[in-house]
Amino acid sequence: MTNLTEANMADPQDSRRRPLTPRAKRYWGSLIGAGLLGAAISLLLLPLSIEAGHNIGTGDGGFFDPFENPINPTLAVLVSALWMAGLLMMCLIFYRSIDEFEERDYLWAGTVGWYAMMLTIPAWHVLWMGRLVPPVGIWWIFAIGLLSNNAVWMWRKFRK
């Protein structure tokens, strides 16, 4: 009689107990690592930026306003370097762990994210020129591109 792990590995429909392969560990580790890196940097910058905003009297109440206050230039360089090096490392690990099907999903998602930004920025700018919306916010554009990218990637990855 086979043990439970061997039985589950033989049944592709029952993935609840199958251990992750090394490729899957790298894949999910890179995605989770990139998210944790962004969260850690945001949590580091948020209190510093809020304090800087209080010191200079800014803070008009915008959602991304705390991230637009000035911070120490040395810290800005260090955090930027950490972000770029860390995210580049996560992207390389991710890209080396995907197959051709995942690569196609990734390219589709990136294309849709790019189109979302390319369509949104000029339209937003023209609406701003007509004084119908506030000035173009870089964080809103980033969020639109990222959310559309993630929506397409998750739809292509997790659809059945």
How do residues 26-64 score in pLDDT, each as one tens digit? Answer: 888 988 998 899 888 888 877 776 665 554 445 554 445
Nearest to 55 by CA among 43, 44, 70, 39: 70
CA 103, 107, 113, 116 torsion: positive or negative?
A: negative
Residue 18 gets which letter from DSSP?
P
Query: How would residue 69 be classed by pLDDT, with cut points 50, 70 and 90?
Result: low
- What's the predicted TM-score (pTM) here? 0.62
How do residues 16-26 score in pLDDT, each as one tens digit? Answer: 668 888 888 88
Query: How would residue 1 be classed by pLDDT, with cut points 50, 70 and 90?
Result: very low
Token pair 């199958």 in the structure block, residue: 18
Neighbours of 30 (CB within 10 A): 21
pLDDT at 2 over 50: no
pLDDT at 135 over 80: yes
Token pair 């099907």 in the structure block, residue: 101
Amino acid in the structure at residue 9: M
Neighbours of 100 (CB within 10 A): 7
Query: How would residue 14 be classed by pLDDT, with cut points 50, 70 and 90?
Result: low
- Is residue 113 packed enough to be buried (19+ CB in 10 Å), middle (13-18) or exposed (0-12)? buried
